[in-house]
């Protein structure tokens, strides 16, 4: 079962003095909100064992980096897809190219199964809007 996706944007979390310069051609990607790590280690990691808790923290840091990359790629893909659609419409073409959408759905389904199909549907909607 697929849960609802909440619209969210984010980018790499950097100290304020290390913020990259903003390129006007690319949309700004604000960082994800920080999550408080208050409370005992077990409450944050699910274990009291210090070595395991430290490893969980380390793994989660990498997961957060991957999430940031996925969000940035999602936004880039949606913007590119919107540009394709606008270019196609401006040239007198159709709003959608269903064969292209079917190819994308199939590519994701083959690699990721049913969840891949759902992911592809979300990606397509992000780029072209709802049908």
Residues of the chain with pLDDT under 50: 1-24
Pick the CATH number of 41-128 from 2.40.50.180, 1.20.59.10, 3.30.470.30, 3.40.50.300: 1.20.59.10
What pLDDT was estimated at residue 89?
95
What pLDDT was estimated at residue 30?
67
In eight-state DSSP terms, residue 1 is -
What pLDDT was estimated at residue 32?
66
What pLDDT was estimated at residue 130?
85
Per-residue H/E/C for 23-73: CCCCCCCCCCCCCCCCCCHHHHHCCCCHHHHHHHHHHHHHHHHHHHHHHHH
**What pTM, to 2 d.p., does this model score?**
0.67
What pLDDT was estimated at residue 43?
82
């Amino acid at each position: 079962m697929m849960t609802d996706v909440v619209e969210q944007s984010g980018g790499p979390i950097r100290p304020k003095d290390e913020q990259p310069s903003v390129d006007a051609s690319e949309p700004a990607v604000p960082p994800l909100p920080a999550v408080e790590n208050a409370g005992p280690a077990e409450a944050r990691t699910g274990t009291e064992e210090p070595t395991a808790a430290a490893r969980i923290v380390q793994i989660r840091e990498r997961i957060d980096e991957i999430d940031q990359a996925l969000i940035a790629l999602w936004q880039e893909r949606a913007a590119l897809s919107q540009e394709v659609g606008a270019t196609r419409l401006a040239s007198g073409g159709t709003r959608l190219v269903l064969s292209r959408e079917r190819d994308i759905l199939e590519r994701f389904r083959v690699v990721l199964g049913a969840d891949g199909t759902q992911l592809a549907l979300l990606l397509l909607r992000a780029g072209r809007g709802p049908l």
